């Protein structure tokens, strides 16, 4: 039997059949695509490579970021008297281009400057080194200030940050500085700097000094509180200074001054020049105190007042009051319209009274009697004056009591007025005159006595003014303490 299918239905059937075949082929292609997972994993490998590259960039960025370490400045200072120059050779961990400033002033906080000098600057090299030649404009600097201590300051200050890399690394105000070389100070606003000090004896045979990093102590638990305490002691002395070391809870940057008094009745200190120091960042302080002659009843007075020049004045006044009115404690005293800090420190005598019109100093057991030239001689003379007898008789009484075989040195000194050869000859003649009187009028045969003249070569003060020249004209009698 023949079946008749209408043309319209036959056409619809063919269309559906063709569509089914096309859909089936598409499904097989998709199925085949799913059997090739490596094609999808290749981009993942590319992503891993990109991640490793990014990690490398991050490591480079970390190297360029602000360093999280303490800043260091070490090296040496070389005095080149023949070139009128002081050279700084330093090794640091500072970034390249950081500016280092070198300046010169009187040492131990004596406030006047030394000669016509300014500052010198240098830049840190790629390897962290720097060399700065401090050229002294005063051609007679070493002659004028021979025998004085000068303070060479090596500093890095944020005012010198002129490039963005330095500012970003250390902070525009030095706030990122870390370590024992960091000091707070104020120039319109609080800042931090790096600073290290080298003390130089002008004209000394020593010409090389080390740049060292200080060791800091832990801060006191009550650091910065208004109930003030201080403790201090004399740790050493030489023929010029009594060296005081102390600890306190007073804020960094407070100024202390020190003076030596002969006894409780003295209204004036022995030396008109006051030495000053600042409290260190760890609450410690070091204060060399000038003296003329050690006495049995002598003492040191350490003071601080609100009128002094403090390194961090705004912070100090904010904490302590502009008149120190917020302070309390055993070392705080009341004055008429303000309070001050004061510590009295008794010193040890030597069981020897200075001869009349003379001074007596001590350095590690060595005693030195200094007799001014005008006590012994007329101007430009080497013959003893009649009134010199009283002073030299007192010297004899001290020397006669020394042990058998002690060495006694008699040294003559002058200022730098006149010709060096003439001054040398005059100092030798004066030392000989003193030696002759002592041996003639005293029982000193048990001692080994020598005499020598040094002329103007060993000053104890600057010859720049009459007061200094007067102190340099002297005869010294030197011996060891019993």
pTM assigned to the model: 0.81
The mean pLDDT value for 243-267 works out to 95
Tell me the residue ranges of DSSP E strands in 203-329.
208-211, 230-237, 241-248, 255-261, 275-278, 284-290, 299-304
User: Do residues 300 and 244 make contact, with C-beta atoms less than 8 angstroms apart?
Assistant: yes
**Burial label, 244 (beta-carbon count in 10 A; 0-12, 13-18, 19+):** buried
pLDDT digits (tens, 9 = 90+) for 343-382: 999 998 888 889 999 999 999 989 999 999 999 999 999 9
CA atoms of 169 and 66, how far apart (whole Å):
4
Q: Which residue bears the tokens 């609450």?
A: 283
User: Do residues 245 and 311 make contact, with C-beta atoms less than 8 angstroms apart?
Assistant: no
Q: Domains along the chain? A: 73-211 (2.60.40), 230-346 (2.60.40), 359-480 (3.30.1330.60)
Q: Which residue bears the tokens 């002329």?
A: 455
Reported as a pLDDT band with limits 50, 70 and 90, residue 113 is low
pLDDT at 31 over 70: no
% helix, strand, coil for the chain, step of 5? 25, 30, 40
Q: Which residue bears the tokens 């063709």?
A: 18
Higher-confidence position of 90 and 49: 90
Range name among 29-33, 80-84, 424-428, 467-471 with the lowest pLDDT average? 29-33
Q: Which residue bears the tokens 């700065």?
A: 132
Per-residue pLDDT, 109: 64
For the chain, give the percent of residues with pLDDT over 70.
84
CA atoms of 458 and 143, how far apart (whole Å):
11
- The strand pair at 448-453 and 407-413 is best described as parallel
Higher-confidence position of 18 and 409: 409
Reported as a pLDDT band with limits 50, 70 and 90, residue 107 is confident
User: Do residues 408 and 450 make contact, with C-beta atoms less than 8 angstroms apart?
Assistant: yes
The mean pLDDT value for 22-32 works out to 45
Reported as a pLDDT band with limits 50, 70 and 90, residue 115 is low
Mean pLDDT score of the chain: 86
Reported as a pLDDT band with limits 50, 70 and 90, residue 36 is very low
pLDDT digits (tens, 9 = 90+) for 223-239: 999 999 999 999 999 99
Dihedral of the alpha carbons of 318, 320, 326, 330, in degrees to the nearest 10: 170
Neighbouring residues of 214: CB distance < 8 A, sequence distance ≥ 6 = 180, 181, 196, 280
CA atoms of 66 and 64, how far apart (whole Å):
7
Coil, strand or helix at 165: helix
User: What is the enclosing helix (H) or strand (E) of 123?
Assistant: strand 119-123
Reported as a pLDDT band with limits 50, 70 and 90, residue 146 is confident
Per-residue pLDDT, 34: 40
pLDDT at 406 over 80: yes
CA atoms of 269 and 291, how far apart (whole Å):
8
Coil, strand or helix at 181: coil
pLDDT digits (tens, 9 = 90+) for 197-219: 999 999 899 999 999 999 999 99
The mean pLDDT value for 154-170 works out to 93
């Amino acid at each position: 039997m023949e079946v008749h299918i209408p043309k319209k239905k036959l056409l619809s059937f063919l269309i559906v059949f063709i569509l089914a075949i096309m859909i089936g082929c598409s499904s097989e292609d998709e199925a085949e695509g799913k059997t090739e997972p490596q094609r999808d994993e290749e981009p993942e490998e590319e992503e891993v490579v990109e991640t490793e590259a990014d990690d490398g960039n991050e490591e480079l960025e970390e190297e360029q970021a602000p360093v999280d370490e303490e800043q260091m400045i070490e090296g040496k200072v070389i005095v080149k008297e023949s070139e009128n120059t002081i050279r700084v050779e330093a090794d640091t961990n500072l970034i390249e281009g950081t500016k280092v400033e070198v300046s010169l002033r009187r040492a131990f906080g004596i406030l006047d400057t030394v000669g016509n000098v300014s500052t010198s600057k240098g830049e840190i090299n790629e390897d962290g080194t720097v060399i700065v030649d401090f050229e002294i404009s005063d051609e007679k600097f070493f002659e004028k200030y021979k025998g004085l201590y000068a303070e060479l300051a090596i500093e890095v200050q944020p005012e010198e940050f002129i490039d963005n890399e330095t500012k970003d690394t250390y902070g525009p105000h030095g706030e990122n500085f870390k370590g024992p070389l960091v000091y707070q100070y104020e120039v319109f606003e609080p800042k931090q700097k790096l600073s290290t000090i080298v003390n130089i004896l002008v004209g000394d045979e020593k010409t090389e000094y080390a740049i060292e990093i200080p060791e800091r102590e832990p801060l006191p638990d009550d650091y910065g509180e208004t109930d003030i305490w201080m403790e201090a002691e004399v740790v050493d002395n030489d023929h010029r200074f009594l060296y005081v070391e102390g600890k306190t809870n007073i804020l960094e940057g407070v100024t202390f001054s020190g003076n030596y008094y002969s006894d409780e009745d003295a209204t004036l200190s022995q030396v008109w020049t006051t030495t000053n120091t600042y409290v260190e960042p760890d609450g410690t302080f070091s204060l060399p105190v000038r003296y003329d002659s050690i006495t049995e009843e002598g003492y040191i007075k350490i003071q601080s007042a609100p009128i002094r020049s403090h390194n961090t004045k705004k912070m100090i006044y904010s904490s302590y009051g502009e008149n120190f009115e917020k302070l309390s404690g055993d070392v705080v005293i009341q004055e008429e319209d303000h309070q001050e800090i004061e510590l009295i420190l008794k010193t040890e005598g030597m069981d020897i009274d200075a001869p009349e019109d003379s001074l007596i100093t001590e350095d590690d057991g060595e005693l030195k009697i200094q007799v001014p030239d005008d006590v012994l001689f007329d101007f430009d003379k080497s013959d003893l004056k009649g009134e010199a007898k009283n002073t030299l008789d007192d010297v004899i009484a001290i020397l006669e009591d020394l042990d058998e075989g002690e060495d006694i040195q008699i040294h003559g000194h002058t200022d730098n007025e006149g010709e060096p050869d003439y001054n040398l000859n005059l100092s030798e003649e004066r030392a000989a005159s003193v030696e002759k009187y002592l041996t003639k009028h005293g029982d000193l045969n048990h001692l080994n006595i020598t005499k020598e003249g040094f002329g103007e070569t060993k000053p104890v003060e600057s010859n720049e003014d009459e007061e200094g020249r007067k102190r340099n004209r002297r005869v010294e009698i030197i011996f060891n303490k019993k």
